[in-house]
Each structure stands twice: as C-alpha cells, then as structure tokens.
Chains A and B, each alone.
Chain A
Amino acid sequence: MKDNGMEVINTRVAHAGWDDHRYFGYSVFNELAGHETYTGLIGLTVHGRRISSEQVRILDDIAGAFAVAEPRIYALKIVRLISSFGRILPACASGILYMEDAIIGPWTSKYAAENLVELDNLIGSNLDDNEYVTKRTIEFLEKKKRLKGYGVPFRSSDERIRAIRKCIERRERHTRRVWRLFEAVSDVLRKERGLEPNVSTALAAVYLDLGFTSDEIPVIATALSHNLLLANAIEEAKQKSPALQRLPEDSILYVGKARRKSPRAVAAGQDKGS
C-alpha cells in the first residue's frame, strides 16, 4: 500500500486514539491497565501475544535469580563509567548498547538456545538413553568446537543456575523437555569435557520451555535485567565518582610504542614548543 507515493509501514505494535489506545491488539485502558503486570507487558511486547500468569511468575523468578548488579561486572562497569557524569539514562542506554552480539550478557542465551534446539533435534525421543545423549552431545561439541553457554569464568560453577534450578523445581517445571535436555547435556559435558554450563544455557532452557524462540530470548532477558542497569546508573549519577570520570594516571600502564620523533620533526631538526 502506498500513501502519497510512499510505501506505508505496517505496525502491529500500537495506535494512539482519542479516548483509548491500542497495544498489540488490546485496548490499553480496558484490557491492559489494571489487568496486566509489568512482566506480562514485557512478555506481550517480545512475544507479540499475552503470556499466562504462570509464565509471568516464572519470568519474575528468573529476573530475581538474575539480579546480580555488582558494579564491577563488565556491563555494569560501563553503566557506572557513563553515569559518573551525572545522568541516568545515557548510562542505561550504554549498558544496553554493549549487549547485542556481545560474548557475555543476555545475547549469549540466544546462541545457547540455538544449541539446545539443535541438540533437541539430534537427541529427539532418546533423552533417557544416557549412552545416546553422550554420543550425540560429544559429536555436537566436536562439530561446534566451542559451545556458547558453557564455561564459567573465574569460578567453578555458575551460582545463578542453582538459584534458577530451585525456582523451577518449586514451580515443578524441572520435568519440562528442554530443562531436562539442558541437565542431561550438561552432565555429559561436565563428565566428558569438564565443561560447566553458565547461566545463559539455563536461561535458554527455561525460556524455550516457556515457548519463547531463540530470537526472542535475548530480548526478553535484556528487558528483564534493566533493573541492574538502573540500580548502578541511579547511584553513580548521584555520586559522580572522580575515579570513574578519570582514573589516576598511576593506575594506567602504557604498553604502546616508545616515544619517538616524527619524520617532519626530524627534518625540522627541533622539538618545537618544548
């Protein structure tokens, strides 16, 4: 369809009306306001349709288990550095900006989910056959060389997985297909290769069991971790720490090229300005 010769852009997201607005097919004032939780709105936003209250509760559980807002962790360090100049939202934007396709952070759960989907296709209905799961998992690992979502830096295992496991056991979702696959594959990789899963694979398993796709998973994971960015941005925007704005010179180790003269300085035979 064209409008004044210009292609019309179709949107399913929203429309602003006079007395009410529309959001993904729902009346904002009659069907969402007062009826939907914030997490439910995030689910609707990413998924394009409303999610159940059980799904909302699980997303809330995950957001809680994922709430590691330690300011020295890389993503949050970025937020602290930018908010040290006194503003909150540019810092949050920076924290989000680094995430897409980064090797740590929510985007790794996309690749972890893709791996789990592929493994699910390979293993099929043989999930209870240990020998079969081991064989297929090792073949998969050898084909991939490096498995995103496995490997835990600086500690022996990812404590967040223990927290997530507790949550999903409490909600009796540990018997779901992808979670079982995650546990089975992780057991194999731990035993055969000494590889521990990190939280991105556990998250991917939970999200896949909830019906989210590999593409939706990093987006919803990002949306549900905004509190981590905000917490650091709010605090640092108030503190405006001079050491974050500029590190003391003696904390920098210069490892670049040694001091030298440029060809033009050599030709001029002088060090001007000194």
Chain B
Amino acid sequence: MTDDGKCRTYSGPIEEQKWAAKLKANVITPGYDSCIHGYSMNEDLIWNYSFTETVLLTLTGEIPAESDRILFETALKFLLPVSVAEAPVHAGVVARLCGASQSGVTGIGAIGLAEQARFIVEKHRGLLEWLDREDKRLPDEYHAADDEERRSVDVIRNCVKQAGLEINGLEENPSRISSIIMMLHACGLRKSEQIELSIVMARISSITAEALNVEPGDFRDYPIDLPPFRYQEKS
C-alpha cells in the first residue's frame, strides 16, 4: 500500500513485453459441442464410434481402422489388471488406509502409474526401435522369461489370431509386456508418450477399485514391514 492507501503497482518483463493473447487448442475445441480433431462429439462420434476408437482418434488424429480398434482394446484389457503387489496400487491402498481423499488416492495412483509406465517404456526403448526397423531378430532382453510367461503370451497371440490379425514380432517369443507394446505399436501408437499414456489409462481403475476395499484407519491389517526394511548407520 502507498501512503495514500492505494495499492502499489509494479512493472516487469511480463507487463512490458508482448505475449500471445490466446491459448492455442490443437485437438479439442472448447464448449459443449466439442470436436476432436475436427469430428463433432454430439453429431458424429457419440453415434458412430466406441470409447476406445475415440481415444485412438484423440491420440493419433485419425479415425482408426477396425483392426486398430481391436488391437488397442485388447492391449488395454491385458494392461488393465494391476494387482496390489505393484507399487502404484500399493501406494494407492496405503493412501486410502491413511484416510486420503479419493482425489489423493487417484492422484497418487496416477503418478505411480505414470512413473511405472515411464520405467517400462524406457526399458523397452530398444523394442520400439526394433519395431520401427524389424531388420533382425528380436533382442533377447525382450523375450519371455519362463514357460508361465510364454503361456500368457499364447493367450495374447490367440486373441490376435482369432481377430484375423497379424503382428510382427509376436511369434518371436516376446515377453508379455513386449507383446502388449507390439499391439499398441501395431495400432498406430508409435511414440513412447502414446505407449506410456495407454498404460496409465488402462490401469487407473485398478487402483481405485483395490483402494475402495480398504478401511481407512485399519492399520493393524496392513503389513507395515513388507517388504522388510533395516536401518543401518555408517559406523
């Protein structure tokens, strides 16, 4: 405040330079009659396309082919179940146990999933490069580890076959997550960001579903020393 009781004003680079006046929208128009990449929700998409097709359109900019829809939907289904053994769900469950609000649980879960997805995609960067080239055999690090994993990939392979589709690399003994990434790649999601987002989107409901079954405050029922920690001091 100045001596005469008025608010003092200041000037700086933001006031004194020219900036864009409007925020650019590239994908979705604002308002009740939203268009996604030019297609009206009210007049077109809601009547003609499924949720997964609309998500694919949003991510790629184009209406997906029927085969892309099948692959994307199948990949999302295989990605969806993420148990409490995995860090994002475990964290969501602990948050709920501590009495966090639903937005807290969702937020923590979303961050956990985003980090898990980043970690997975980072480990599979070589696979994405291989899928873009396919000039030699699938690198060993992306192979299934054991028979149990191979059997789970058989299910994925059968789903793809039953849909009358083919995916390159699926016959090369890929790991489960590699085969799902192959499906996402085959339906047009070539960028690592798109793969990461698909993983998060598919899994987010698992977190709330598991967390909602936890009684806030039921601390005795939570195994606090799992996994076991030991404090050590430097001597």
Contact = CB atoms under 8 A, between A and B. Distances in A.
A233 to B, nearest CB: 14
Nearest to A155: B13
Contact of B234 (A4, A25, A258, A260): A25
B49 interface: yes
9 contacts: A1-B230, A25-B233, A251-B23, A253-B23, A254-B30, A258-B38, A259-B35, A260-B39, A262-B48
Given A3-B228, A8-B229, A90-B103, A273 B46 contact: yes
B227 A7 contact: yes
A260 to B, nearest CB: 4
Contact of A11 (B39, B49, B232, B234): B232
B136 interface: no
B24 A93 contact: no
B230 A72 contact: no
B91 to A, nearest CB: 13
A269 B35 CA distance: 19
Contact of B48 (A4, A247, A256, A264): A264
A261 to B, nearest CB: 6
B217 interface: no
Interface in A222-274: 247, 249, 251-265, 268, 271-274
Nearest to A94: B107
A268 B48 contact: yes
Contact of A6 (B23, B26, B227): B227
A262 B49 contact: yes
B230 A259 contact: no
B61 interface: yes
Interface residues of A, number: 45
Given A9-B229, A273-B47, A256 B14 contact: no
Interface string A17-56: 0000010010000000000000000000000000000000
Contacts of A247: 23, 30
A252 B20 CA distance: 11
Given A6-B228, A10-B232, A259-B39, 14 more contacts: A8-B227, A11-B232, A12-B231, A14-B231, A253-B23, A253-B25, A254-B24, A255-B24, A256-B37, A260-B38, A265-B48, A268-B48, A272-B44, A274-B42
Contacts of B17: 154
Interface in B12-55: 12-14, 17, 21-31, 35, 37-40, 42-49
A101 to B, nearest CB: 10
A259 B24 contact: no
A15 interface: yes
A262 B231 contact: no
Contacts of A1: 230
Interface string A135-152: 000000000000000000
B233 A4 contact: no
Contacts of B46: 273
B182 to A, nearest CB: 27
Nearest to B15: A72
A154 B14 CA distance: 9
A97 interface: yes
B145 interface: no
Contacts of B28: 256
A9 B227 contact: yes
Given A22-B233, A256-B38, A264-B48, A9 B228 contact: yes
B70 to A, nearest CB: 16
A49 to B, nearest CB: 9
B229 A256 contact: no
A215 interface: no
A87 interface: yes
Contacts of A268: 47-48
